[in-house]
Amino acid sequence: MPLTGRWEIFLRFMNNYEKISLVNDQKEKTKLTIVLFEDSKTADDPKQNPNQILKQSDLILALFSNLTKKHSLYSDSLSLIVLNQKFSRSIGCETGAAKHSDHDLLFFVDVDIAFTKEFLLRARLNTVENKQVYYPIVFSEYDPDDPIDALKNENSNKNHVRKNHFDFNRNNGYWRQFGFGILVTYYSDLKRVGGFDKSIVGWGKEDVDLYEKFIKSNLIIFRTVDPGLTHVFHKIECDVSLSPEQMIMCLGSKATSIASQEVLSELCIKMKADIIEPPLLNLSLVNKKN
């Protein structure tokens, strides 16, 4: 998993990972590799003295050490790689994958994803080395805040989170048909198609590029809705340094995640006096002026 900043979100992911992957029947079947892009920014550890400043890498290593002791894990069950450079998801994925052997099954995941134990089973069953890769369709949450605030970009510092990330109500989220960032494949098959394009930096495009490589290969792409994966909503900020193509993708994803069509249409109806129908002119005043 490539990572940059977002400490609280990372803790949420690790809480989910611990509950699902570090139980007795799973802990010897999974390994987690984090590729952290760390710059000069630092992070406060809420459990330490407020005056003590630690790097995020220090915090992650301390967390991994505690989990290793708590669950009696192998030394390589939780790994951290630190890169002192600008974030690139493609470089992060390739760097993490290189720690594994050709016959290892890789699950490329983002920090915003919540997953279930059942998904792990489907990931193993739906991926076949030298034959098939698995591209699950993820349920992506809408903004839990008021859509008016979302449209105005207000309360951008608020990070409200739904309690149940697997409530597939049509007004809670949508199935992200156009997302290709979540992938399960054997490392040998990733290398077979040429892997991620490491020249792509910033948000987006690297997943579509890899998906097209798999399409052009002789490997089968198995793609279906998976009820064991949810992209937890977070505010999206599109970096002004993105390429035009990446910016279009980012803005499109941001707009799609505001709310469902049903909620937005109801909002438009409520606001139609201002949005659709201009205020009626006072004809008597107009006639007097004429």
Q: Are 229 and 176 in contact (CB under 8 A)?
A: no
Q: Would you say 129 and 189 are in contact if contact means Cβ atoms under 8 Å apart?
A: yes
Give me 208's structure tokens.
């579509």
Residue 23 has pLDDT above 90, yes or no: no
pTM above 0.95, yes or no: no
pLDDT single digits (tens) 148-173? 555 555 545 556 777 888 888 888 88
What token pair was written down for 164? 């149940």
- Full set of structural domains in the chain with CATH: 1-87 (no CATH), 101-290 (3.90.550)
pLDDT grade for 255, boundaries at 50, 70 and 90? low
- Tell which residue, 100, 78, 95, has the closest CA to residue 32: 78
> Regarding predicted confidence, which is higher, 177 or 159?
177
Q: Is the pLDDT of residue 72 over 80?
A: yes
**Quick one: pLDDT at residue 9?**
93
Pull the structure tokens for residue 223.
Answer: 């793609």
Q: Which of 110-114, 230-234, 255-259 has the lowest mean pLDDT?
A: 255-259
Measured from the Cβ of residue 156, the count of other Cβ atoms closer than 10 Å reads 12
C-alpha–C-alpha distance, residues 266 and 249, integer Å: 26
